Structure 1
Amino acid sequence: MWVETFTGLRMRQFERVLTVVGEWGGTGPGGGRSCCLPLAEQVLLGSV
């Protein structure tokens, strides 16, 4: 798994982070962006 390599988190811990980000309203990019990555990929890229 790339999650553990890049973040140092176990997959279960990363899933908890995704849950919290989703609850806070992190569902997609802001206005003006033409493409949208899935939430898991956004969080993974943000943690690098």
Structure 2
Amino acid sequence: MGYFWSHYSKEAHLGLAQMYVNDSRFKEYYDKLGVGCADFLRDALAVFCQ
């Protein structure tokens, strides 16, 4: 993310992670790696941002 955003908040990071699940295009992309990957990524980022 630092490549595109020089500074970002935890809230922005979490919003992006939620988009990976809510937006079917992102969910499809990540879930090609394995069923549930988009959800796992969102949940992992939620823990990381605590």
Relative to the length of structure 1, the TM-score reads 0.38
Relative to the length of structure 2, the TM-score reads 0.38
Of Structure 1 and Structure 2, the greater helix share is in 2
